[in-house]
A = this chain, B = another copy of it.
Amino acid sequence: MNPFDAPRQTELAAAAQVCDRCGSRVAGLCQPLDSAALDEISSEAQQMTMPAHAAVFREGDPAGRIFTLVDGFAKLTRLLPDGKQQVVGFRFAGDVIGYTTLPTYPFDAELLTESRLCRLDRGQLDALLRRYPTLERRMLDLCVQELTATQEQLVTVGRRSAEARVAAFLLSLVEASRRRNRPCSVLEMPMTRSDIADFLGLTLETVSRSLTAFRKRGWIREPVHHRVELVNFAALSALAEGTDD
C-alpha cells in the first residue's frame, strides 16, 4: 500500500526511485542520478520523522541543511512585523525544502502532518554537487520552477476575486496530486482554512464561505475532514480563469 516500505534503503533513495517510477517533471532532488550515486547519498543523508506542526526550520536560521519531504505536507510562511503571516507555498511528498544560496532561510517551514524527511547538511550537499555536476543544474531547474509557481501565485493574489482564488487553489491541489502520481478523485487537503486564507491573501471566513458556496453548487464534496473531491472541474476552472461571466 505504502510505496515507501523498502526496508534496505534510506528515504531519500526511496523518494528518488518513486520519482523515477512516476516519471514526474518536478519531484525529487536526485531524479537525474544513477543508483551508484543514490547509494552514496543514502550513506550521507539522515532520515527522520517529525510530528505535525513541527518547524523544520525558521526564517533567519542559518541555512545549513536541505530537506526532501519524503512523505507528508508542509507550508512555507513569511511573517510580517505586525504578526500577520503569508503562506508563500505548500510542499508535498517528493518536494525539496530549504535550498537557498542565502546565508539564512528566508521563510519558516512548518509541517502540516506528521512527515518523513530526509536531511542533508550543506557541506555534504556541496560535496555531492562537486561530484555530480548534473545535480547543480537540477537545483537551478527546481529554483526556476519555484519562481514560476510563485509568480503565478502573485497573479492569483493580485488580480483574482476571492472565489476565483479558492478555485485556483483547489486546482493547484489537483496539479500537486498529479505530480505525485496519486489517483486524484479525492484529494488530501491537510491545511486549515486559515492556512489557505494566508496563502490566498484572504480571511479564513471568506475561504470558508467560498468552499461552502462551491459545495452548495455541487462543484465539490468534502466526504471527510481534510479531503476534497472536485465534482465539477470545468466550473472551477472557468471561475479560476475568470472565463465564467
Contact = CB atoms under 8 A, between A and B. Distances in A.
Interface of A: 78, 80-82, 84-86, 88, 100-102, 106-107, 133, 136-137, 139-141, 143-144, 146-148, 150-155, 157-160, 198, 200-201, 241-243
Contacts of A136: 136-137, 140
A82 B242 contact: yes
B81 A155 contact: no
A153 B153 CA distance: 11
20 contacts: A78-B151, A78-B154, A80-B159, A80-B241, A84-B159, A85-B159, A86-B159, A88-B155, A100-B144, A101-B141, A101-B144, A102-B148, A106-B151, A107-B151, A136-B136, A139-B140, A140-B140, A143-B143, A143-B147, A150-B151
Counting chain B CB atoms within 10 Å of each CB, which of A102, A201, A242 scores highest? Answer: A201
Given A78-B151, A146-B147, A151-B107, A157 B102 contact: no
B147 A101 contact: no
A46 to B, nearest CB: 24
Complex A-B, nearest 4 residue pairs according to Cβ-Cβ distance, in ascending order:
A158-B201, A82-B242, A143-B143, A86-B155
B155 A153 contact: no
Nearest to A106: B148
Contacts of A86: 154-155, 158-159
Given A102-B144, A106-B148, A201-B159, A81 B241 contact: yes
A78 B152 contact: yes
Contact of A155 (B78, B102, B141): B78
B139 A81 contact: no
Contacts of A84: 159, 242
Given A81-B243, A136-B136, A241-B82, A150 B141 contact: no
A242 to B, nearest CB: 4
A6 to B, nearest CB: 31
A24 to B, nearest CB: 16
Contacts of A139: 140
Contacts of A154: 78, 86, 88, 150, 153-154, 157
A100 B152 CA distance: 15
Contacts of A201: 157-159
A65 to B, nearest CB: 16
